[in-house]
Structure 1
Amino acid sequence: MILSITAADTYPLRHQVLWPDKPFEFVKVPEDENGLHFGYFVDNQPVSVISLFVDDHQVARFRKFATHPDFQRQGLGSALLEIVFERAIELQATRIWCDARLDAKPFYERFGMKQEGDTFFKGDIPYVKMNLIF
C-alpha cells in the first residue's frame, strides 16, 4: 500500500539503504519540510520511500528514493515512482529529474528518463542526472 508520509518517516530507510556509513543527519535535506513524501508499506512497515519537490518554475525533482534490499526487484519502487510522476503532473510540473546512482540508470531509462550531462561523484559513488519532460 502506498501512503503519503512525513519527511521524518523516510529517514530510517533513507539511512539504512542509501547512506548507512554516514551520520543519520546526513539523509535529511533542507527542502524536506516543503516536499511531498511517499512510502510503500508492507505489514505496516515502510519498505520503499521517495520524496518529491516541485519548484516555482514547474520543475519537479525526486530525491532520496530508497527501497529495502529485501523488497527490491518486486515492482514496489516502480509503483512508487509512477505515483510520483502522476503527482508531479497534477502539480503542473513540465519535467522531472533526479540525481541517480550510475548503477540505477537502466531502471530510470525504463520510465523514459534520459541522462543529461556527464557522470559526477558524490563521495566515491558515481551519479548521473536523469530527466523526463512531460
Structure 2
Amino acid sequence: MYEDLTFVFDVDGTLCPIKRDDERYEDIVPYKEMVEKIREYKEGGAKIVLLTSRNMNSYNGNIGLINANTAKVLLNWLDKWEIPYDEIIYGKPWPGHHGFYVDDRTVRPSEFLTKSVQELDEIVRRDRCR
C-alpha cells in the first residue's frame, strides 16, 4: 500500500516534546498520535527514517560523541515506546534557536497527522519555488 513511500522524521519536537532542562531524554513521552500514524504507514510498507540533531549543540557537532552517548539513549527510548524505524541518521545540522530548515519536500507534523498522502504531495508541490 505504501511500499514506495519514505518518510524522514525529526525526533525532538516532532515525535516527542523538546526536553526541558529538568528532564531526562529517557523520561520523555512521545506524542501518541504521531507514533500511531507512523505505525500505520510502517505496517503499510512505508520506509521510516529518523534524522535527528539531538545533542548536536551540546556536543558541538561531534558525531563521535553523539554516537557514543546519544545513540544508545535514543535507541532504548525508541524500543521502550515501540516506535518503528528502518534507519536512524544522527548528526542533522542544528540551525540554532532562531534558524530554520528550508526544504522542498517538507510538511509540518500537524499536516502529517491530518492529511492524506495525496494532500501531502499537493502541499509540497504547491509550496515549491517557481
TM-score normalised over the length of structure 2 = 0.33
Q: Which has the higher contact order (CA 8 A, sep 6+)?
A: 2
Larger fraction in strand: 1
User: Which protein shows a greater Rg?
Assistant: 2
